């Protein structure tokens, strides 16, 4: 074969692209798994490279590698991270369930670069993989990549969304709208109260994610093949976590029980469940925005979202709520990702979970999708929408449910009769109440004042 070289592993020889940094085991994976043509996520590969650098540093400290070998491995890893490293990681997501192919991909690429730097052979297994097994490095990398994704992407994005919502709540506080339960008219609420509800949902989600970080930052590294730590220095787990913490500025610790962290992916399942909860919150906010924006003539028309693009290829002038729609689709995808992770999490057969790559893919996909959509929802929907005050007032003036405020005075049954009459005749409830009660108009104006019927009324 032209433009190839011969590489060897324990199974024999095979052809590898001449310029490829990887070796035989990676090529076997490329040949064996032409399934989705999707590579492992960049965030995962980045975390795997960082883990290899941390392992080399720890092994030098423990005299398992020479200083020159360790330095070459670390320099190779750092060089990869400074460039377009994904071109060197072609292994499909759907591969061996332990992720061994991706681990060996990293070992081979780093070994090639380290050998060039050192001027002598650096072995993928004996040196780059020293003190490790795919069975602990891949679960570790899932935890590390997800923790970094939360710290660097999702949590800052959710905090930003909360801040934008809270600023908007102050801006729209003077506006009062018809509340709705079951999509039917209900008692009035301040627009600010609606937004403050969203903000509190998101704050709760942030708190739950933060509560999961200590478990996510607890690592399987040091357990090697089955959790016993065979072929790893007794102090390797502690040294690895310390070095990785220095490299990432996130505090990682050795797991309390490495058998649990290798044989199961319960933490990933728990994190995914909380990501699903975030998705549910974003879906609620997106749908509220879509409903309030609906119309503008035949819908609610309470707000006007920023117009971002033409909404129809056939209907001129139509503008759609594209950011809330995109956010709702993200939420649907994340909910689906969680189902996949739940099923994969059940595949902890004895001492190893064997669906690690798909857990990594779906977990990191959820984190990235939620982070990106949260920022777009904040900046291109919530921050910029305008309130249609005349539409709010028109709906409030015709809302018979305001009669609820008269329950303590005239009783539920009488109030219901007034509401039904107002509905049937299409009249303001104050006019009907004036005819059916002994209350004066001035009394009714006070009792039925929408502003005073909101808990935050001034």
End-to-end C-alpha distance for the chain, whole angstroms: 82
pLDDT tens, the chain, 458 aa long: 569 999 999 999 999 999 999 999 999 999 999 999 999 999 999 999 999 999 999 999 999 999 999 999 999 999 999 999 999 999 999 999 999 999 999 999 999 999 999 999 999 999 999 999 999 999 999 999 999 999 999 999 999 999 999 999 999 999 999 999 999 999 999 999 999 999 999 999 999 999 999 999 999 999 999 999 999 999 999 999 999 999 999 999 999 999 999 999 999 999 999 999 999 999 999 999 999 999 999 999 999 999 999 999 999 999 999 999 999 999 999 999 999 999 999 999 999 999 999 999 999 999 999 999 999 999 999 999 999 999 999 999 889 999 999 999 999 999 999 999 999 998 999 999 999 999 999 999 999 999 999 974 43
| 297: DSSP letter | S
Q: In whole angstroms, how large is the CA radius of gyration of the chain? A: 30
Q: How far is the CA of 326 from the CAs of 75, 111, 283, 320, in angstroms?
A: 41, 42, 10, 11
**Which pLDDT belongs to residue 70?**
98
Q: Residue 312 catalytic?
A: yes
Q: What pLDDT does 458 receive?
A: 39
The predicted pLDDT at position 163 comes to 98
List, in order, residues 6 or more apart from 39 with CB less than 8 Å away. 45, 86, 89, 90, 91, 92, 93
User: Looking at 2, 10, 182, 313, which residue is catalytic?
Assistant: 182
pLDDT of residue 398: 86
Q: What is the pTM of this model?
A: 0.96
- pLDDT for 397: 85
pLDDT at residue 457 in the model:
42
Whether 182 sits among the annotated catalytic residues: the reply is: yes
Predicted local confidence at residue 106, as pLDDT? 98
Q: Shortest CA distance to 420 belongs to which of 397, 403, 406?
A: 403
Structure tokens belonging to residue 104: 């060996």
For residue 147 the two structure tokens come to 């923790």
Judged by phi (left if over 0) then psi (alpha if -120 to 50, else beta), residue 231 lies in left
The active-site residue out of 36, 66, 312, 440 is 312
Q: Could you say which DSSP state residue 128 is in?
A: I
């Amino acid at each position: 074969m032209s433009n190839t070289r011969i590489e060897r592993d324990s199974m024999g020889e095979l052809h590898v692209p001449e310029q490829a940094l990887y070796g035989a085991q990676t090529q076997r994976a490329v040949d064996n798994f032409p399934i989705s043509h999707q590579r492992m996520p960049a965030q995962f590969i980045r975390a795997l490279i960082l883990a290899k650098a941390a392992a080399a540093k720890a092994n030098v400290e423990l005299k398992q590698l020479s200083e020159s070998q360790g330095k070459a491995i670390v320099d190779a890893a750092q060089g990869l991270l400074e460039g377009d490293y994904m071109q060197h990681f072609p292994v499909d997501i759907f591969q061996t369930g332990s992720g061994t192919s991706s681990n060996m991909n990293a070992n081979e690429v780093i070994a090639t670069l380290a050998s060039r730097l050192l001027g002598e052979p650096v072995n993928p297994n004996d040196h780059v993989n020293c003190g490790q097994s795919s069975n602990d490095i891949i679960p570790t990398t899932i935890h590390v990549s997800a923790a970094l994704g939360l710290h660097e992407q999702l949590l800052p994005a959710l905090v930003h969304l909360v801040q934008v919502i809270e600023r908007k709540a102050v801006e729209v506080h003077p506006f009062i709208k018809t509340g709705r339960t079951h999509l039917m008219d209900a008692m009035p609420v301040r627009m600010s109260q609606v937004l403050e509800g969203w903000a509190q949902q998101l704050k709760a989600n942030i708190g739950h994610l933060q509560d999961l970080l200590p478990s996510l930052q607890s690592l399987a590294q040091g357990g090697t093949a089955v959790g016993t730590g065979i072929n790893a220095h007794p102090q390797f787990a502690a040294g690895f976590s310390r070095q990785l913490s220095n490299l990432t500025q996130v505090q990682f610790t050795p797991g309390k029980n490495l058998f649990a962290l290798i044989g199961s992916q319960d933490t990933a399942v728990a994190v995914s469940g909380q990501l699903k909860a975030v998705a549910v919150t974003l879906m609620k906010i997106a749908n509220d925005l879509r409903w309030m924006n609906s119309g503008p003539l035949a819908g609610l028309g309470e707000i006007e979202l920023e117009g971002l693009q033409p909404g129809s290829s056939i209907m001129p002038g139509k503008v759609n709520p594209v950011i809330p729609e995109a956010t709702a689709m993200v939420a649907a995808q994340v909910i689906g990702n969680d189902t996949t992770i739940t099923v994969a999490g059940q595949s902890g057969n004895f001492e190893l979970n064997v669906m690690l790559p798909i857990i990594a893919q779906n977990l990191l996909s959820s984190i990235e999708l939620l982070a990106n959509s949260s920022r777009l929802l904040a900046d291109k929907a919530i921050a910029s929408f305008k309130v249609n005050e005349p539409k709010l007032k028109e709906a409030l003036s015709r809302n018979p449910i305001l009669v609820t405020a008269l329950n303590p005075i005239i009783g539920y049954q009488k109030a219901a009769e007034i509401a039904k009459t107002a509905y049937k005749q299409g009249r303001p409830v104050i006019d009907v109440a004036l005819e059916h009660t002994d209350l004066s108009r001035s009394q009714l104006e006070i009792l039925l004042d929408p502003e005073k019927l909101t808990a935050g009324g001034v």
